[in-house]
Chains A and B, each alone.
Chain A
Amino acid sequence: MVAWSDQERSIITSIFSNLDYNDVGPKALSRCLIVYPWTQRYFASFGNLYNADAIKTNPNIQSHGTKILHGLDRAVKNMDDIKSTYAELSVLHSEKLHVDPDNFKVGPGAPAAPRTPSLLSDCLTIVIASKMGSGFTPEIQATFQKFLAVVVSALGKQYH
């Protein structure tokens, strides 16, 4: 069970309540596809992803980015049971979408073991950092990355 302090809860709810999902979602997803081009393998049916401009203006990527943020919203509203909130989504990502769970992993570090490069989580962190500017303090960054780590762990739970 993950423990959240009152301060961590308010940090997370505050971040998300000040976000434009229609802006941040597409920006994070398109950044991920540009910075880590191998992730495009999951979006073969989405149309033109040939270059950065095509990715940034692709309407399927835009709507999917927004969808992802709404998916994260579920975790924000259920912080005490993210694992079961995401059980179905985990099955979806594993069985139907066949997404390598390393793709959504959180930044390097956390407990001892070195991690593989983190992809979507990193891009989301960076987009939110650029929106919040200096308001994205080290403490807020730590809480946000902890939140993403819990989400990612829940998404990976149903893989076998």
Chain B
Amino acid sequence: MSLSAKDKATVKTFWAKISSSGEAIGTDALSRMLAVYPQTKTYFSHWKDLSPGSAPVVKHGATVMAGVGDAVAKIDDLTSGLLSLSELHAFTLRVDPSNFKILSHNILVVLAIMFPTDFTPEVHVAMDKFLAAVARALSEKYR
């Protein structure tokens, strides 16, 4: 299920529309992930405040979405483009890769909330495939 030329074009066009809301998207997606899937909180035990919209959540949401934006720019070769991020996730953060799906799902929910008319089924499938491809690239260095 690799990204077709059409998928890439759809992702780039949609991203251009939404990227200025990157921080808001990231904050909301992360907040939802922590609230709806409490097991994900285990990765953030070093944060004082895990409540939706708290300072560490806002900051980290922005970080994550900046990474997604970077991935959009490197959409033609995610594996090499996201190499150092993969090493970070594999060796330092050691996030169980099953969690990538969880965050992706919440990003999609936020996109549906914030961009109800633009997030058509066609955009949805392209974004879902893209986030899955990003997750695969991030998992590269795990083992």
Contacts and interface: CB of A to CB of B under 8 A. Distances in A.
Interface of A: 30-31, 34-35, 52, 56, 107-112, 114-115, 117-118, 122, 125-127, 129-134, 136, 138-139, 141-142, 145
B98 A114 contact: yes
Contacts of B112: 126-127, 129-130
Given A56-B121, A109-B99, A127-B112, 6 more contacts: A30-B121, A109-B39, A109-B40, A115-B98, A130-B113, A133-B116
A34 to B, nearest CB: 4
Interface of B: 31-32, 34-37, 39-40, 52, 96, 98-99, 101-102, 105, 108-109, 112-113, 116, 119, 121-122, 124-125, 128
B29 to A, nearest CB: 10
A122 B124 CA distance: 11
Contacts of B108: 122, 126
The A interface, classified by DSSP as helix, strand, loop or mixed, is helix
Interface centre among A118, A133, A138 (most CB of B within 10 A): A138
Given A30-B121, A126-B108, A141 B32 contact: yes
20 contacts: A35-B121, A52-B122, A107-B102, A107-B105, A108-B37, A108-B101, A108-B102, A109-B102, A111-B39, A114-B98, A115-B101, A126-B119, A126-B124, A129-B112, A131-B116, A136-B113, A138-B34, A138-B52, A141-B109, A142-B35
